[in-house]
Structure 1
């Protein structure tokens, strides 16, 4: 049998893994007590949900580093889904740490570091746990996870500290679930990929992970604490708290915190990840170079462990098309010009030449915007991350996911929208999790085609291989990144198959 586990606030985890079959409920004995798990549906895997790994971040622990959970819990019911941390966005929001010795894959969800949680059914680790242990980690998001106002003496990165504490928990506790602490892959998507890169770049990384895999967000450079002051001061103003009054922030209600975030300036147009957006902060919330927890820029340091960097072929269509709705098909050059100026300032005209609506996109403004954001926010950063690691002598592997799933994988994505979205942001997630049926999760009636099932098995196994050996499949299967030859990557293609070392990887940087 296998095991799948959650970690959630209290901060919790969830687990899935392979353990011996038994007529009795599966149990794991930890320092704090015994966790009683349950079976995953339709697969020979056990799950252990809602395992506490840190104290509740309330009172004096709000806007503070996490503290390890140190209370005995006797017998813990590990069958109830974990509640999410307080949410500050709705797009990927949750309305409600998921472990023979096996390699371990630790998952960090996306959601712009504003929302998300481990009980999202799309991240169900049961089917990926057939050859490994899956651990999913809840962490603080929004200002609760990343407030960094110097007047308060806060340097942010609390959400990143939660993630690091969870990795240390895995080192200390995963043997109880049959896992090997020397074979840990940290993997994440979108903001989770950026967070993964943040942790993989720290000196401590080799002590808590064997490798890292970053899906649509790895390789990004981060702002400094000085660069986020203006943007985060707007949050303080909305909360009616002085930037020197920490008790005011700690006393604020959940609804007041959420209202203050909701009242911050809206995007004038769709944003790319550049230093010109969000008052120089680049993203609304997220990890920063604070000189303490994160002493150096991740891109300057590079991944300290073998790493996968990748993106999807149409990463940003999930944001561009819904933002404009039916009007997306009729956008004009004026809208495009405003978008370019907002994101690139004095470089707008150069970007306009490179991504010409008329010459490259047949007059379709939405297609040009999608290409600009996909390249500048995802593909180019993946290339930079892989190149930096390779230059340091750290094995790096690159991919582009170009397959358009035949089933909707998120409930928020209508089936008839897939043809317009293409291989969009999050499209690779069901394949990495080997989730091929009952889509959209948890109870849909769509099943992926046989070729897609093979693709899912291959991707899920490649991620397991990274945990086991630091290689996704060997040189004959997935060559290492090679900047000189523009080779060393994987293209997960439209036919559900795989092609190796394709020149498509040049989209990861220079064109």
Structure 2
């Protein structure tokens, strides 16, 4: 009862404040002034953690505790966390700053509502790059029915370097997300958000992050529903072996010497310039931006300070000890465009895919993330041979066989473990678990950007549904995509406010997979949606 009274009081205070001055928000740290945009208010660059610099580098985040003497300027766009960004042209891909841990709130101008449900977005980028500022929120603001909150979190080695022991545990970026979610729960009512109606969603590494947060029992106190778009905790690029070796390799690269003690390694890395640490990422890439996640989530030591993940996600799901709340997970028909589309790049008159004819056994384990999971070279080579035979037969790697290679990427990196996640949650969980596949190719999507060409058909690629919710600047949509965009956003608005966990897209009602003998997926196409049953569950 006390918690309910506190929540109601905060909402009432927020509503009263909005009538006085909607741009001025009272936070525990002091007053914050946002910005009046054409159709919404924005409150950006709000710190939720102490700057993770100096002795706080490679440590769990500390809650932000500073008091503002002056009104905090919430009109400044968020900065990117320091990163080695795949989509920066040229050899130097370093952008961002180390002091970056902020939340960013976007509130529609809608006088007919006193409170709003909340959509929290955890951005993707392979745990290596990306940020809140790189994706828009206009489609949601135009509808005027929900507040959007975007989280910035540490990336790459600054966010995920791990020696897999108590001294250098890793998962700092995931711990950032968790602290930000706590901040949102405690403070969103001050902006007019309803803390009892929070949906946390993310795409790619953001989707995997949402799933990893869902596997924390505390998450049930922080959110009402969850949505993982083209990424989940079981994908092979998420929790990988080999992190300790990579940590000490990075130390050697930046000049810490041949250390074997993680305490000394962390001490050395805390004395280095952050840009030097992040630039070292390029030494872990074997070709282009491959492997795309050299630093990501790990299974931590149980004696780590504030550990986030001490068991493999599969074991957590089988234990049933995770947040029991409705979860939607999805993939696109050709999710493997990331990172397969770069194979279509041309160099010296030939496509990069032709390199695989002589280097398949060398490169495939890096592309598909099984280099560290196979016990022997023979086992690794056998798997590489089996994949090639299953999808290509006796054909060579060429532009003519590209779509079959892309299918390998789709199945191994995204589709297979989406299905496995649904199956396991349906078997060991109690709350609804839903799935969809999106198949509606754009005129120009992320695949064309990655391949640096527009003369190839890639199908419905990685992120082609996500951009219909969080559009990138200057995104041009077809008429059917505009309708799908409205349907997807309406789906989320209904999902976060449903008291039963029911989920609907347009006129199609999702089927819960709990208690089913067959996989239940919603198939979303250009002008239709249809429930499918697949005989995949064992």
Matched, 1:315 2:329: no
Distance 1:132 1:476, change over 3 A: same
Choose which of 417, 427, 434 in structure 2 pairs with 1:397: 434
The residue that corresponds to 1:79 in the other structure is: 75
Alpha-carbon distance between aligned partners in 1 of 2:337 and 2:316, rounded to the nearest angstrom: 31
What SS does structure 1 have at the residue aligned with 2:284?
coil
Give unmatched runs, 5+ long, in structure 2: 1-13, 98-102, 108-113, 371-379
What SS does structure 1 have at the residue aligned with 2:46?
strand
The residue that corresponds to 1:466 in the other structure is: 495
Alpha-carbon distance between aligned partners in 2 of 1:184 and 1:54, rounded to the nearest angstrom: 21
Q: Deviations over 1:333-388 (max 9, x none)?
A: 55556555665622233323431356899983322221111111111111111111
Deviation at 1:267, TM superposition (A): 4.7
CA contact (8 A) 1:149 1:243 kept: no
Choose which of 487, 509, 528 in structure 2 pairs with 1:498: 528
CA contact (8 A) 1:309 1:397 kept: yes
Matched, 1:288 2:317: no
Distance 1:226 1:499, change over 3 A: closer
Q: For structure 1, which segment, 72-81 or 377-386, has the greater mean C-alpha deviation from structure 2 after superposition?
A: 72-81
The residue that corresponds to 1:438 in the other structure is: none
Distance 1:357 1:367, change over 3 A: farther
Matched, 1:60 2:55: yes
Deviation at 1:128, TM superposition (A): 6.8
What SS does structure 1 have at the residue aligned with 2:120?
strand
The residue that corresponds to 2:110 in the other structure is: none
Alpha-carbon distance between aligned partners in 1 of 2:72 and 2:176, rounded to the nearest angstrom: 21
Alpha-carbon distance between aligned partners in 1 of 2:483 and 2:447, rounded to the nearest angstrom: 20
Cα RMSD between the aligned structures? Answer: 3.5
CA contact (8 A) 1:309 1:383 kept: no
Deviation at 1:471, TM superposition (A): 3.1
Distance 1:26 1:415, change over 3 A: farther
Choose which of 255, 266, 283 in structure 2 pairs with 1:263: 283
What SS does structure 1 have at the residue aligned with 2:31?
strand
What SS does structure 2 have at the residue aligned with 1:119?
helix
Pairing of 1:279-358 with structure 2 (within 5 A) = 283-290=293-300, 291=302, 292-302=307-317, 304=323, 305-326=325-346, 327-328=350-351, 331=354, 333-334=357-358, 336=360, 339-340=363-364, 343=368, 345=380, 346-357=382-393
Q: Deviations over 1:65-110 (max 9, x none)?
A: 1111111224122121011111123327866822522211111111
Q: Deviations over 1:193-220 (max 9, x none)?
A: 1111111101111011112111111141
Matched, 1:480 2:512: yes
Matched, 1:171 2:171: no
Distance 1:203 1:385, change over 3 A: same
Give unmatched runs, 5+ long, in structure 1: 1-16, 273-282, 436-440
What SS does structure 2 have at the residue aligned with 1:417?
coil
Q: For structure 1, which segment, 72-81 or 298-307, has the greater mean C-alpha deviation from structure 2 after superposition?
A: 298-307
Deviation at 1:271, TM superposition (A): 5.4
The residue that corresponds to 1:29 in the other structure is: 26
> Normalising by the residue count of structure 1, what TM-score does the alignment of the two structures yield?
0.81
Deviation at 1:420, TM superposition (A): 2.8
Choose which of 87, 90, 100 in structure 2 pairs with 1:91: 87
Pairing of 1:87-486 with structure 2 (within 5 A) = 87-91=83-87, 97-98=103-104, 99=107, 100-122=114-136, 127=141, 130-150=144-164, 153-220=167-234, 227-241=242-256, 242-244=259-261, 245=264, 246-267=266-287, 283-290=293-300, 291=302, 292-302=307-317, 304=323, 305-326=325-346, 327-328=350-351, 331=354, 333-334=357-358, 336=360, 339-340=363-364, 343=368, 345=380, 346-357=382-393, 364-391=400-427, 392-406=429-443, 408=445, 412=449, 417=454, 420-433=457-470, 435=471, 441-442=472-473, 444=474, 447-469=476-498, 470-473=501-504, 477-481=509-513, 484-486=516-518
What SS does structure 2 have at the residue aligned with 1:465?
helix
Alpha-carbon distance between aligned partners in 2 of 1:180 and 1:249, rounded to the nearest angstrom: 41
The residue that corresponds to 2:374 in the other structure is: none
Q: For structure 1, which segment, 157-166 or 455-464, has the greater mean C-alpha deviation from structure 2 after superposition?
A: 455-464
Alpha-carbon distance between aligned partners in 2 of 1:270 and 1:261, rounded to the nearest angstrom: 11
Aligned length: 470
The residue that corresponds to 1:280 in the other structure is: none
What SS does structure 2 have at the residue aligned with 1:213?
strand
CA contact (8 A) 2:196 2:223 kept: yes
Q: Deviations over 1:156-206 (max 9, x none)?
A: 111111100000001110111111112111111111111111111011110
Deviation at 1:264, TM superposition (A): 2.6
What SS does structure 2 have at the residue aligned with 1:262?
helix
Larger radius of gyration between Structure 1 and Structure 2: 2
What SS does structure 1 have at the residue aligned with 2:217?
coil
> Normalising by the residue count of structure 2, what TM-score does the alignment of the two structures yield?
0.78
